[in-house]
Amino acid sequence: MKITLKPLGNIADEIMEKLKDRVGGIFCCPVEIKSGLSDLAQAYNPERKQYFSSKLLASIKKSERDARAVGIADVDLYVPRLNFVFGEADVGSGTAIVSLCRLRQEYYGLTPDEALFLERATKEIVHELGHTFSLGHCPHNKCVMHFSNSLADTDLKEAHFCNKCRPRIIL
Ligand SMILES: [Zn+2]
Ligand SMILES: [Zn+2]
């Protein structure tokens, strides 16, 4: 079984490759990159100037040989009633989506830091994948399944599952 990462819209190959290696290292399984939706216009909300996360998530199709599929978008995502989301998961279909948009230092007017950006992106992908294994939020603040209310929470936690969450990941 393998995990598939799908770029949604334009994502540099180099970023996809780096995320693939990191996610594979954590789940200890093969990770493959397959093309995803290229035109995200159908999910754009001009009033919010953001993209509707659930709509893009529904576009991610998982083949039977894939254990899980995760869409990676570089646009700002929202769901109704929330200002934004870092990502979203659907347990039933085994699919998830993550936004890279708010994970860059430059989004906040700070100096770019690629290592930090990749670390954050890995955590968000692993977190949403954890949800597809029916894991809820973990009270352990270093566990990747800890809820991130802000990037400070994301930076505090690790990219790995804690001892309680880890056994529930069955690939
Ligand atoms: Zn979560
Ligand atoms: Zn945990």
Query: Considering Cα of 110, then 116, then 122, then 126, what sign does the dihedral take?
Result: negative
Tell how far the Cα of 149 is from the centroid of ligand 1, in angstroms: 9
Whole-number pLDDT of residue 163: 97
Tell how far the Cα of 160 is from the centroid of ligand 2, in angstroms: 9
Q: Are 123 and 34 in contact (CB under 8 A)?
A: no
Geometric angle at alpha carbon 115, from 113 and 116, rounded to 5°: 70
User: What distance lies between CA 50 and its chain's CA centroid?
Assistant: 17
How far is it, in rounded angstroms, from Cα 168 to Cα 143? 13
Rounded to two decimals, what is the model's pTM?
A: 0.96
Counting Cα atoms < 13 Å in the Cβ hemisphere of 98 gives 25
Residues 73-102 have pLDDT tens digits of 999 999 999 999 999 999 999 999 999 999
Residues 100-148 have pLDDT tens digits of 999 999 999 999 999 999 999 999 999 999 999 999 999 999 999 999 9
Neighbours of ion ligand 2 (CB under 5 A): 138, 140, 143, 145, 162, 165
Ligand in nearest proximity to the CA of 162 = 2
Residues 4-53 have pLDDT tens digits of 999 999 999 999 999 999 999 999 999 999 999 999 999 999 999 999 99
User: What distance lies between CA 84 and its chain's CA centroid?
Assistant: 14
Q: Which two tokens stand for residue 20?
A: 């693939």
Active-site residues: which are they? 128
What is the overall mean pLDDT for the chain? 95
Q: How far is CA 148 from CA 152, 157, 167, in A?
A: 8, 9, 22
How far is it, in rounded angstroms, from Cα 158 to Cα 89? 19
Tell how far the Cα of 88 is from the centroid of ligand 1, in angstroms: 7
Tell how far the Cα of 12 is from the centroid of ligand 1, in angstroms: 26
DSSP characters for 33-64?
A: E----S--GGGEETTTTEEEHHHHHHH----T
How far is it, in rounded angstroms, from Cα 106 to Cα 11? 17
At residue 66 the predicted structure's pLDDT band, cuts being 50, 70 and 90, is confident
Tell how far the Cα of 128 is from the centroid of ligand 1, in angstroms: 6
Whole-number pLDDT of residue 143: 98
